[in-house]
Structure 1
Amino acid sequence: MAATLMILKYFLVILLAAFSLFLSAETKKDYKNLFIEADQIKTADFRKFQQIILELEQNRESFTEKQLLELEYFKAYAAGYTGNYSQSIEMFKTLIPKVTEPDFRFKLLTSLANLYSFSRNFPNSFASLFEAFSFENEIKSPEIKEKGFLVAAVIYNLAQLHPEALEHAEVVKKKHTSVKSLCIAEQLIAEAHYSLRNPIDINQINQSIDNCRLNGEMLVADIFQRILPQKLLDEQNYSLAEQQLNKFIPAVESHQYPRLTADYYLFMAKAKFGLHKYSEAEVWLDKTLELSKTLGFTQPLVESYLMLSDIYKKSGNFELALDYYKKYADAEKAYRDDLSEKQLAYQLAKGEVLQKNQKIKLLEKDNSVLTLRNELNQTNTENQQLFIALLTFSIIFLTYFALRTLKSKQYYRLLAENDNLTGISNRFHFTDKVKKILEGSNKLGQIDSFLIFDLDFFKQINDQYGHLTGDWVLQTVVAHSKQFVRNLDVFGRIGGEEFAIYLPACTAEKAALLAEILRDAISQIDYSGSGHPIKMTASFGVTATDRSGYELKKLFRDADHALYQSKHQGRNQVSLFEEV
């Protein structure tokens, strides 16, 4: 009897142990599924995602080291999703050095690049993006690689580097692993093509939008849908655009996504303006500005100021019209500066990657030469000639790569300094160069001059004949203007259709005379090569260091003031700044 009880006792102990192991395995299995679910729903159902994070946090003692790192990723992602970009960036920066596994590290770096772009830190955004793609070939998960390519396409579209955006989004479209990825890729492709003024198939776009909606991707569908009213507005079909927007806007507002909503409000204002419903357009512009205040210098903000200026000019309120035009000019400059900085950040990051790769190649070749030399030193003297020949070849090879690296640096510096369209200095390089000249002129007491000119009614060229024609006009104006600019002058494009020339050792009167020559030359250009009946004039503002001092900001402001005076007096004029 005692023996039987002992057997039963041991049997119960074994059964309890087995049951405990079974429960433990089931619990781990459940947590593994929770990690998978959290990663899948983090954008589609953020509230549930937060609940899963809390549950995982309460049971972190039972997780592996990799699971703990993944939990930290979820927490960093959640901070960024709720707008705490600085906190999220710091969390990612702390997490990334702990991760060596390529797939996970790629996901972290592309997430960090996305966060940096949201916080408008594009130098770090491109640096993180390029670091991630430096080991792209090591990524095993198609889903993780796919998401990284989509992040890259989003960032490139934000920086208006649309060919690069197309390249990355097309990869996802061809090899997508989910309907959601295909939906996002097609939206990014359409956005890039539209911005590049490439032909787009509206029927295909409508099908893609419907596909997004059928699969529950409502936000992506409404982002995608922006192209439809945009195209109608470009075609001046204001009535149909108004009808579409009345239908679209309630759903867009439900997302509570300010940047997207601001776009739709601006579209409605344009439709109302085109239908001559100016008071209604003003209401929508006020709503656009209210949303845009927290978004920095965006296209909706810039265009709203310009349209309000036009509305007040039509109503005869020239004081308010001029006030809003000044706001437009300031916002447009800031927007262009921001865009130039994004593109400069891309070119510099790309140049650094190329330079780094060239250095690696040089080091590899250098190591090869050292290895050869050590081996050859151990051979018989009859091989010395071979060694000399090999060494000579290696030196030539290294010299070639060094020269190639130097040329690459010069090429990327040229891209970073010059305006891509016109070939003259971009605003960033213009500002940097003029500041250095101003320092020397100030020490010498030398009088330098500064002029700004703006092409009159240039926006109408883009609206009537398209951006390709507008680009042709800008290139033609610059080509003719360069004939009158001295070698020591600095000529730059500082805005869409706004240019500046800095003239060292030149009085204000001489600069005003040059401005008159340029004004006359621009008005006499034969623009028939555009294929359209275009006549172009320009308005000029001129100042000098003996009037405005040696601070570039003050020179800009005073030349701007003179430019506003030229526009206020009817355009196609030159005004010289006079201190009141």
Structure 2
Amino acid sequence: MYHPGQTLRRFGLAGLLCLGCGAGAVAMPTVPVSPTPASLLDRADSGIKLSDHAQFARLLDQLDVRRNELTSEQRWHLQYLRGWQAAYQGDYDRSRAILDEVLEKSDDDVLRFRASATLINILGDGRRYQEAFLRLSQMQDQLPQITDDAVRYQGLGEAAQLLISAGQYDLATSYADQMLAHIPPGESTCKAMYFKLHARYRSGTLGDTEDPMLRDGIAACTSSGQSVFANAMRADAAGVMLRMGRATEAQALLQRNYADALRDQYIPVSAQFEAMLALANWKLGDVPTAEKFARLAVASNSKSGVTEPLSMAYDVLYRIAEGRGDYRDALDYHEKFMAADKGYLDDISATALAYQIVSQQVQGKRQEVQALNKQNVILKLEQALDRKAVENSRLYITLLLTVIAFIVFWVYRLKRSQLRFMWLSRQDSLTGICNRKHFIEAAEGLLRHAEKAGKPVALLLIDLDHFKLVNDTHGHTVGDQVLKRAVDACIPLLGHRDLFGRLGGEEFAIILSDSNHAHALHRAEEVRAAIANARITDAPTDINISASLGVVTTEYSGYQFRQLLINADHALYKAKRDGRNRVVSGREDGATILPFAAGEKKVVLER
């Protein structure tokens, strides 16, 4: 099940909101009685874009009516604002077409810089991450030449937002600190505080609403009328509360500000509220309210592709249907949850991979420039050597070989770095075993091969007992030691063809190749006993570990991985319900799951 803050997935607040800090960021107190087109344009390109978006849209309509009164420069400025508005409303194709035209035809360097920054965000939302990071790299090279404080503020904010999505939290925080150190006239600390706090949330170091920096950030955004950012910070705080088991406080915080989030008409924030409200109410036992908010979150994300709120909402709906005994709907929601969750994790991996690829490309281009400069030097030396004695030609040959060796060495290092990154993307960073994405892909491939060969395969679903209590009592550092110790206890029991992966949190799975039902139960009991015998001795007090296991085989559940996982999950639920620290088998006869404890079967065989 989804655990807030555990995976720290990407929040939906788009970086384009920072782009409200361009030229003319100081909002005029009133519109003149007979406003000129220039004054209307200045007012439209102010903080009103976020504080009163409806009024911003009306100003653009007025400017369109008076387009003939605008200069060429003012028309391109209006065109840029139309592109910004389309991006805010989620119409990325139209926004990109408008901003591309501004980049191509406008003579205003500052306006083109702002259009480029907005395009970076659009490319990110369109999951064109590599192109987005390439444009970001180009924009960062232009920053030293930008003297306008407001535009620099905008560029730094875009860099911070995109780097957060790539998991570069320290670098993103440094950009946010630069924003805080140079607040343009008319701006508040709101946006810079949000980027810094959101980087802390994603890295797992953010406290809840008692965190002084969080309180200051929400206050700054509220006082400056930027409720979108204030509510985004509240959603981060609620996520921390849910992770800490404080569902009542999280529900109260979200419910208190939900109407305000709806008024902003910014779907990524309101959908996050709805998904978290669904999870909080489910944890509190209010199933009807949880179902209502989960369905609202699904509806809000119907056109947004795979997102964190969508995955969270489907997981809550699955748990509700399962609790009602409606296994058909539960299976349908579980499949949707797995698809959304897998897509979301793929999206996060793609973002991080794009950042690494672009970083290596930029580094590679710099190396190429250096190599070309060295080659130019060599060519000049070669011309000089032609006028010298033959023995001096040896120096040229030596230099040439050095350059070639340098290039070969650089290519080797680059290739090795790429291979290492691909390997790391398949591994769980804490335990060293397969991560969820790689485990599912490998398991599906193994099942296809076994089905063709006609060999049985077993799936063991493992969940550590009372793990949340360990985290709450001893802290996450000890919790991490428990996870690693449990994995270390299991690894010696696995064969070279078996597959071991971490699905998330304290949940693990093992695929046993060429294993029938009886053999799988025996192996599962060995795993349970090994975990139960493991100890954490370097904690303040000794900690006993135990695990509950659900076991299914292809003999009863077929070779479809999702069906194996559903049946194993039912068996695991039975093991938890019957007292934990036991193995339960899930066998499917018709449409009924018939679980039984491995220990009971063993007693029967001994008789």
Q: TM-score, normalised by structure 1?
A: 0.76
Match of 1:544 among 554, 576, 580: 554
Pair 1:137-2:141 in alignment: yes
Offset at 1:410?
Answer: 1.9
C-alpha change, 1:361 and 1:270, in structure 2 (3 Å) is closer
Offset at 1:304?
Answer: 6.6
Deviations 1:449-474 (A, max 9, x none): 44433334545545555544444433
Pair 1:476-2:485 in alignment: yes
The amino acid across from 1:495 in the alignment is: G
In structure 1, what is the Cα distance between the partners aligned to 2:514 and 2:106? 58
The aligned length equals 537
In structure 2, what is the Cα distance between the partners aligned to 1:495 and 1:556? 16
Match of 1:219 among 202, 222, 228: 228
> What residue number does 1:11 align with?
none
Pair 1:128-2:132 in alignment: yes
Offset at 1:128?
Answer: 0.8
In structure 2, what is the Cα distance between the partners aligned to 1:291 and 1:209? 25
The amino acid across from 1:142 in the alignment is: D
Stretch of structure 1 that moved more, 404-413 or 186-195: 186-195
Pair 1:107-2:107 in alignment: no
Conserved in 2, the CA contact under 8 Å of 1:238 and 1:271? yes
The amino acid across from 1:499 in the alignment is: F
Pair 1:360-2:370 in alignment: no
The amino acid across from 2:361 in the alignment is: K
Offset at 1:387?
Answer: 0.5
Match of 1:563 among 561, 566, 569: 569
Offset at 1:383?
Answer: 2.3
The amino acid across from 1:542 in the alignment is: V
Correspondence 1:411-560 to 2 at 5 A: 411-437=420-446, 447-462=456-471, 466-507=475-516, 509-531=518-540, 533=543, 535-544=545-554, 548-549=558-559, 554-560=560-566
> What residue number does 2:43 align with?
37
The amino acid across from 1:133 in the alignment is: S
Stretch of structure 1 that moved more, 146-155 or 410-419: 146-155
> What residue number does 2:28 align with?
none
> What residue number does 2:405 align with?
396
Correspondence 1:299-314 to 2 at 5 A: none
> What residue number does 2:199 align with?
192
Offset at 1:517?
Answer: 2.0
C-alpha change, 1:365 and 1:444, in structure 2 (3 Å) is farther
> What residue number does 1:149 align with?
156
In structure 2, what is the Cα distance between the partners aligned to 1:454 and 1:93? 51
C-alpha change, 1:72 and 1:129, in structure 2 (3 Å) is farther
In structure 2, what is the Cα distance between the partners aligned to 1:113 and 1:472? 40
Correspondence 1:196-207 to 2 at 5 A: 196-198=203-205, 200=207, 202-207=211-216
Q: TM-score, normalised by structure 2?
A: 0.73
Conserved in 1, the CA contact under 8 Å of 2:121 and 2:158? yes
RMSD: 4.1
Asked which structure has the greater CA Rg, the reply is 1
In structure 2, what is the Cα distance between the partners aligned to 1:422 and 1:465? 19
In structure 2, what is the Cα distance between the partners aligned to 1:390 and 1:558? 62
Gaps in structure 1 of 5+ consecutive residues = 1-28
In structure 2, what is the Cα distance between the partners aligned to 1:397 and 1:100? 42
The amino acid across from 2:118 in the alignment is: S
Conserved in 2, the CA contact under 8 Å of 1:358 and 1:401? no
C-alpha change, 1:485 and 1:106, in structure 2 (3 Å) is farther
Offset at 1:345?
Answer: 1.2
The amino acid across from 2:299 in the alignment is: T
Deviations 1:415-468 (A, max 9, x none): 322223332222333344445555655555555544433334545545555544
In structure 2, what is the Cα distance between the partners aligned to 1:302 and 1:469? 29
> What residue number does 1:17 align with?
none
SS of 1:568's partner is helix
Stretch of structure 1 that moved more, 139-148 or 256-265: 256-265
Deviations 1:456-498 (A, max 9, x none): 4545545555544444433332233223233343332233333
> What residue number does 2:351 align with?
346
Pair 1:337-2:342 in alignment: yes
The amino acid across from 1:149 in the alignment is: L
Conserved in 2, the CA contact under 8 Å of 1:242 and 1:268? yes
The amino acid across from 1:498 in the alignment is: E
In structure 1, what is the Cα distance between the partners aligned to 2:105 and 2:496? 54
Correspondence 1:44-59 to 2 at 5 A: 44-58=51-65
Deviations 1:327-350 (A, max 9, x none): 786566445424422331123212
In structure 2, what is the Cα distance between the partners aligned to 1:406 and 1:202? 44
Offset at 1:363?
Answer: 3.3
Match of 2:387 among 379, 385, 394: 379
More helix by share: 1
In structure 2, what is the Cα distance between the partners aligned to 1:241 and 1:478? 33
C-alpha change, 1:258 and 1:62, in structure 2 (3 Å) is closer
Conserved in 1, the CA contact under 8 Å of 2:133 and 2:354? no
In structure 2, what is the Cα distance between the partners aligned to 1:286 and 1:260? 19
In structure 1, what is the Cα distance between the partners aligned to 2:497 and 2:204? 37
In structure 2, what is the Cα distance between the partners aligned to 1:271 and 1:502? 33
Offset at 1:567?
Answer: 1.6
Deviations 1:162-190 (A, max 9, x none): 44543432332233325645212213323
SS of 1:539's partner is strand
The amino acid across from 1:352 in the alignment is: I
In structure 2, what is the Cα distance between the partners aligned to 1:365 and 1:272? 59
Conserved in 1, the CA contact under 8 Å of 2:465 and 2:545? no
SS of 1:487's partner is coil
Deviations 1:71-130 (A, max 9, x none): 433222222222334443454456556579765454334323433555xx43x1453144
Correspondence 1:245-284 to 2 at 5 A: 248-257=257-266, 259-261=268-270, 278=285, 281-284=286-289
> What residue number does 1:6 align with?
none
C-alpha change, 1:302 and 1:397, in structure 2 (3 Å) is closer
In structure 2, what is the Cα distance between the partners aligned to 1:460 and 1:326? 29
The amino acid across from 2:115 in the alignment is: L
Conserved in 2, the CA contact under 8 Å of 1:340 and 1:428? yes
> What residue number does 1:23 align with?
none
SS of 1:43's partner is helix
Deviations 1:283-316 (A, max 9, x none): 4313321321124466666667777888999xxx
In structure 1, what is the Cα distance between the partners aligned to 2:248 and 2:556? 54
> What residue number does 2:292 align with?
287
Stretch of structure 1 that moved more, 79-88 or 407-416: 79-88
In structure 2, what is the Cα distance between the partners aligned to 1:307 and 1:464? 27
Gaps in structure 2 of 5+ consecutive residues = 1-34, 591-607
> What residue number does 1:10 align with?
none
The amino acid across from 1:172 in the alignment is: M
In structure 2, what is the Cα distance between the partners aligned to 1:154 and 1:405? 27
The amino acid across from 2:295 in the alignment is: E
Offset at 1:505?
Answer: 4.6
Among the aligned pairs, what percent are the same residue? 23
C-alpha change, 1:57 and 1:171, in structure 2 (3 Å) is same
C-alpha change, 1:416 and 1:117, in structure 2 (3 Å) is same
Conserved in 2, the CA contact under 8 Å of 1:172 and 1:181? no
